[in-house]
Structure 1
Amino acid sequence: MEISYSPFLRDACGVHQLAALLMELDPSEEISRLLSADALYQMGRVEDAHKTLLVALSKSPHTAPILARLALLQLRKGFFYDANLLIKKVIQIGDTSCLQQIMEIFREEDRKLLQTHCHSRAVTILKNKQGDTYTKEAIAYLSLAIIASGSQARESLLARARCYGHLGQKKTAIYDFNTILKTDPTNVQALCGRAFMHLVLNQQKEAVDSIISALTLDMAGVVPEILSLKQEAQVFITQGLYSHCRTGLNQLASDRNLPREEASEKLLSIGEALIKIDATKSSWRIFLVDILILTGCYEKALEHLQEVLGPTPRFEPAQARLGFLQLKKKELGAAIHNLEPLAGKDPKDLGFLLHLLDTKQRHSLSQAAAEEGNALGKDQCPEKALGYYTLAVLASNGNPRYLRLRATCLSHLQDFSRALRDLDKVIQKHTASDLQTQVEDFCSRGRMFLGLRDEASAVEEFIRAFQLSPSLALRSVSAQPGPKQLAQMFHVAGQHCLEEQRYEDSWKVIEYGLLLDENSSDLKKLRGRLKREISWGCSIH
């Protein structure tokens, strides 16, 4: 049943007269009685309106528009029990849309009465009764309160959204939260509620974005909301926050052109919130320390760091932060000992700290770390030296000098594959001006392939060295593996090339092999055989 009130209710008296005429023509017409009742209400004749509605109700006892109007008038009179019975009947009928129209007629104070009553009734139901049936009943009352308010009842929208979430209607709940946020973007409860719904829908990015917005506005209000979640949900949301913000923090550290002040404030509030949620989690505390370090608050950073270090066993990430602060105080010796443990275990984490150092500080750090590695190497402690060489490599952005030192250390530890990877990086940075260094690098690679028992690859590397400078290459291999032993490997390689009819390659291997051992009978015989095969091949053609 629909009634259009504009422009009729601009003249309530005229509408009443028209309605009376219509009722005389057809006494059973329900719409005429509703128009009459509404007009009488507008004219201030509430009792007459009430009587008209009672007559209409006697003819149509299950009509929601009549029941809703009577409920509003009962509330106006203060008969709350009777009003609630009428509202309950409207809810049972399921036709609450009629309220949308009559809200245009009733005065603001009467609409407020309905809103307050329905909201209070819903809260009472939710507080005292459990189960989906009662939750749905509360939703109906809340919907009436929202309609009565013109969809501006934030508390009712919040309560209804939570009810929908409880019933598993997550997207409907998000719609209610968004309705609140359209008019009040800073509503922390709505932001948290929306975040939790996104969380259940496995929409982690949306959930984290909403939580970050809420934390920025009111950390004290958001933390209890998160703590009210089940443990697994808390873990999911806090881990999402941490991962998102750790990425942002690393970007701020690596790119000095990014605006830091506002972003740092947001990150700081999130770091503090994480600690309030779970103060025992070391990674949260380290995250807060990193934010304070980034913003130059070194004393505060040290205070939080002590909470992590304390009486607990040594924790590499915390040690590294302590080393960074010591480096800032120019305590270089202590700094490298605290930074080194993280170098081999988590280079990315260490990289965050290194980004915050200037060029001079990084140079001093890498030099001191390499010197410590050299000292340990002389004491026959390659395992301990390796961490310091790695620190030197990271601090220097892969300086070839320190890569060579680490490669040598790895070779002593028989880790030839990693050693080769380091030398690959060194060779990529070769310059034509330093011939001796290039030759030595190729010879070193050859020795590493020998460590892997890959003589064919080793010979290739030694040949690369000979092609650059035979004299320098001979000097490099004289001690290890030794000219005669290497000449034998060249003989095997040359023989293999000949068998595959790769004559040019075989000739090259033989010639360099004879540079190693000019008296090698095996190489001379192989050269003679190669000449004969080439000559025979030519005669065929």
Structure 2
Amino acid sequence: MAAAISQDACGVHQLAALLMELDPSEEISRLLSADALYQMGRVEDAHKTLLVALSKSPHTAPILARLALLQLRKGFFYDANLLIKKVIQIGDTSCLQQIMEIFREEDRKLLQTHCHSRAVTILKNKQGDTYTKEAIAYLSLAIIASGSQARESLLARARCYGHLGQKKTAIYDFNTILKTDPTNVQALCGRAFMHLVLNQQKEAVDSIISALTLDMAGVVPEILSLKQEAQVFITQGLYSHCRTGLNQLASDRNLPREEASEKLLSIGEALIKIDATKSSWRIFLVDILILTGCYEKALEHLQEVLGPTPRFEPAQARLGFLQLKKKELGAAIHNLEPLAGKDPKDLGFLLHLLDTKQRHSLSQAAAEEGNALGKDQCPEKALGYYTLAVLASNGNPRYLRLRATCLSHLQDFSRALRDLDKVIQKHTASDLQTQVEDFCSRGRMFLGLRDEASAVEEFIRAFQLSPSLALRSVSAQPGPKQLAQMFHVAGQHCLEEQRYEDSWKVIEYGLLLDENSSDLKKLRGRLKREISWGCSIH
């Protein structure tokens, strides 16, 4: 085959010589001649031919590039570098693509090695965008010389592009590496960092997870090598995305957990290695271990958080969860309660991991503790336990009522009303007395807000269900006579607005509260006089 190539080269050389005789100024003919002489093994003759061509065209990149290759072959690295630098300054590196098809593999390797080494030297000893761009040029030559297979050069060039803010170009180089080597951890990390800067969080996390799964020990140094701001940006983005995934796994038991949990565990361990002082990282790892049932390991990591900050609510809640698993119910509710009012979503993650029986026991025990504190006139302390009971029971009306009552004692009537709204949405027709009491409770809460008009509306809803039960409920608070006066004011307001049917209804229920009320009787008489004889109001 070598003989065939030599024979072909000989023919090309003869043709090129003929063309040069016809036109001595023709540059392409001299390049053909030089290439043919090189392939025939006549390197010195090729070198002389190129020098003649250079004397006629001193700024032609194809000639300079060929001379540089020959100088490298001869070991004249300084001269070769000067020639390569001129090619870079001219900016025409595309000529190398054609040259690479002509020169031997060992000579191409010489060019690749030289250009890569030169780029590394520049990046190591010089700073600034100008030098970074120069390094990119050398790396590009190295990549061309390798046939686009120089992974180290591609990695270095991608990082340079990233440094210059050319994120998408950097990703292209990283992807070039990953096409042939999908397990290249450095390329995966580099691509992830670029995606994060471009705010493409999903792509970034996918890449970093793949890298962590392959080689956690190799990924952590990559992250730690970045500036502090970049580390924070990456780790926080990774944490937020994975925390969402972990919450989804906890709330949806139909999702496949094993593979996802392994990936999350790798991330949790990596975050700890990056910054072991970050409590949220440690809690994240604890949650993964809890999800997978590794309770002893979870407790070991939990102690790292509980040591210096014993009042750190997220850590206390995890301890409470583990105590609940050990059936230490009393200790569990005291550790879970602080998180109930501060971060219900975080507590919700733990509650999703309990079965129905465990949640029932937890909500019942929390409510009992709240009742005990309520009897001791400590509504502030009781509120947290009632909230824990509500969350653990998925909003059981029984516990919502208890919390609403507690909130009323604390004069927080708006929140109390929201709880009763949820209760009323779950009303069933089977328990009339409970429905009446709920509407009366809402009426009393509106009175606490000094909204008598809304309070009257709630009391009327109770009377419409059962007058006798409603009378019994309001007998102590606010009291029939006082409430009758409010009904009088409301009935008068309806009459002034000519809402005769509403006024009649208010007056009739008001007289149920106080049948001897002269104000209500007078208002009824006035109403009868004002309405037309043909209008039916009852």
Structure 1 residue 261, shift from structure 2 partner: 0.8
Q: What SS does the aligned partner of 2:450 have? A: coil
Structure 1 residue 450, shift from structure 2 partner: 0.9
Deviates more, 1:390-399 or 1:183-192: 183-192
Map Cα deviations across residues 97-147 of structure 1 (whole Å, 9 max, x no partner).
Answer: 111101011111111111011111111122222333322222221111011
Q: What SS does the aligned partner of 2:532 have? A: helix
Structure 1 residue 313, shift from structure 2 partner: 3.6
Structure 1 residue 219, shift from structure 2 partner: 1.7
Contact 2:501 2:537 in 1 (8 A): no
Structure 1 residue 415, shift from structure 2 partner: 0.8
Map Cα deviations across residues 396-429 of structure 1 (whole Å, 9 max, x no partner).
Answer: 0000011011111111111111111101000000
Contact 1:271 1:288 in 2 (8 A): yes
For 1:174, the equivalent position in structure 2 comes to: 171
For 1:3, the equivalent position in structure 2 comes to: none
Once residues 88 and 536 of structure 2 are traced to their aligned partners in structure 1, the CA distance between those partners, rounded to angstroms, is 109
Contact 1:208 1:237 in 2 (8 A): no
Residue 97 to residue 535, structure 1, CA distance change in 2 (3 Å): closer
Structure 1 residue 238, shift from structure 2 partner: 1.2
Structure 1 residue 337, shift from structure 2 partner: 0.6
Contact 1:491 1:522 in 2 (8 A): yes
Contact 2:366 2:388 in 1 (8 A): yes
Deviates more, 1:189-198 or 1:7-16: 7-16
Contact 1:67 1:90 in 2 (8 A): yes
Structure 1 residue 239, shift from structure 2 partner: 1.1
Once residues 146 and 127 of structure 1 are traced to their aligned partners in structure 2, the CA distance between those partners, rounded to angstroms, is 19
Structure 1 residue 280, shift from structure 2 partner: 0.9
Q: What SS does the aligned partner of 1:540 have? A: coil
Deviates more, 1:135-144 or 1:328-337: 135-144
Deviates more, 1:352-361 or 1:230-239: 230-239
Residue 408 to residue 240, structure 1, CA distance change in 2 (3 Å): same
Structure 1 residue 221, shift from structure 2 partner: 1.6
For 2:472, the equivalent position in structure 1 comes to: 475
Contact 2:337 2:388 in 1 (8 A): yes
Once residues 515 and 493 of structure 2 are traced to their aligned partners in structure 1, the CA distance between those partners, rounded to angstroms, is 20
Q: What SS does the aligned partner of 1:408 have? A: helix
Contact 2:6 2:40 in 1 (8 A): no
Residue 307 to residue 23, structure 1, CA distance change in 2 (3 Å): same
Structure 1 residue 77, shift from structure 2 partner: 2.2
Structure 1 residue 25, shift from structure 2 partner: 1.9
Q: What SS does the aligned partner of 2:529 have? A: helix
Map Cα deviations across residues 63-105 of structure 1 (whole Å, 9 max, x no partner).
Answer: 2211211221222222222222222222222221111101011
Structure 1 residue 535, shift from structure 2 partner: 4.5
Deviates more, 1:108-117 or 1:192-201: 192-201
Once residues 160 and 7 of structure 2 are traced to their aligned partners in structure 1, the CA distance between those partners, rounded to angstroms, is 40
5+ residue gaps, structure 2, are none
Residue 350 to residue 8, structure 1, CA distance change in 2 (3 Å): same
Residue 446 to residue 540, structure 1, CA distance change in 2 (3 Å): closer
Structure 1 residue 193, shift from structure 2 partner: 2.1
For 2:319, the equivalent position in structure 1 comes to: 322
Contact 1:268 1:288 in 2 (8 A): yes
Structure 1 residue 447, shift from structure 2 partner: 0.9
Contact 1:494 1:507 in 2 (8 A): yes
TM-score for both structures, normalised by structure 1? 0.95
Residue 507 to residue 97, structure 1, CA distance change in 2 (3 Å): same
Structure 1 residue 538, shift from structure 2 partner: 6.3
Map Cα deviations across residues 443-467 of structure 1 (whole Å, 9 max, x no partner).
Answer: 1111111111111111111111111
Contact 2:5 2:39 in 1 (8 A): no
Once residues 213 and 539 of structure 1 are traced to their aligned partners in structure 2, the CA distance between those partners, rounded to angstroms, is 77
Matched, 1:130 2:127: yes
Contact 2:500 2:537 in 1 (8 A): no
Deviates more, 1:389-398 or 1:8-17: 8-17
Q: What SS does the aligned partner of 1:397 have? A: coil
Map Cα deviations across residues 152-201 of structure 1 (whole Å, 9 max, x no partner).
Answer: 11111111122222233333223222222222222222222223333444
Structure 1 residue 202, shift from structure 2 partner: 4.2
Structure 1 residue 536, shift from structure 2 partner: 6.3
Once residues 134 and 455 of structure 1 are traced to their aligned partners in structure 2, the CA distance between those partners, rounded to angstroms, is 78
Contact 1:30 1:56 in 2 (8 A): yes
Contact 1:9 1:15 in 2 (8 A): no
Contact 1:8 1:15 in 2 (8 A): no
What RMSD, in angstroms, separates the aligned Cα atoms of the two structures?
Answer: 2.3
Matched, 1:528 2:521: no
Residue 540 to residue 207, structure 1, CA distance change in 2 (3 Å): closer
Deviates more, 1:198-207 or 1:249-258: 198-207
Once residues 243 and 484 of structure 1 are traced to their aligned partners in structure 2, the CA distance between those partners, rounded to angstroms, is 58
Map Cα deviations across residues 489-540 of structure 1 (whole Å, 9 max, x no partner).
Answer: 1111111111111111111111111111111111111111111112468699
For 1:454, the equivalent position in structure 2 comes to: 451
Map Cα deviations across residues 272-297 of structure 1 (whole Å, 9 max, x no partner).
Answer: 11111111111111011001000110
Contact 2:407 2:415 in 1 (8 A): yes
Residue 45 to residue 446, structure 1, CA distance change in 2 (3 Å): same
Deviates more, 1:294-303 or 1:195-204: 195-204
Deviates more, 1:212-221 or 1:302-311: 212-221
Deviates more, 1:474-483 or 1:160-169: 160-169
Once residues 206 and 115 of structure 1 are traced to their aligned partners in structure 2, the CA distance between those partners, rounded to angstroms, is 32
Once residues 21 and 7 of structure 1 are traced to their aligned partners in structure 2, the CA distance between those partners, rounded to angstroms, is 21
Q: What SS does the aligned partner of 1:259 have? A: coil
Q: What SS does the aligned partner of 1:414 have? A: coil
Aligned residues: 536
Structure 1 residue 9, shift from structure 2 partner: 9.0
Once residues 456 and 531 of structure 2 are traced to their aligned partners in structure 1, the CA distance between those partners, rounded to angstroms, is 23
Matches within 5 A, 1:478-489: 478-489=475-486
- Percent identity over the alignment is 99
Residue 315 to residue 540, structure 1, CA distance change in 2 (3 Å): closer
Residue 503 to residue 124, structure 1, CA distance change in 2 (3 Å): same
Contact 2:463 2:470 in 1 (8 A): yes
Once residues 182 and 344 of structure 1 are traced to their aligned partners in structure 2, the CA distance between those partners, rounded to angstroms, is 50
5+ residue gaps, structure 1, are 1-5
For 2:75, the equivalent position in structure 1 comes to: 78
Structure 1 residue 370, shift from structure 2 partner: 0.6
Structure 1 residue 60, shift from structure 2 partner: 2.4
Structure 1 residue 24, shift from structure 2 partner: 2.2
Aligned equivalent of 2:115, options 94, 107, 118? 118
Deviates more, 1:507-516 or 1:529-538: 529-538
Once residues 34 and 72 of structure 1 are traced to their aligned partners in structure 2, the CA distance between those partners, rounded to angstroms, is 14
Deviates more, 1:95-104 or 1:299-308: 95-104
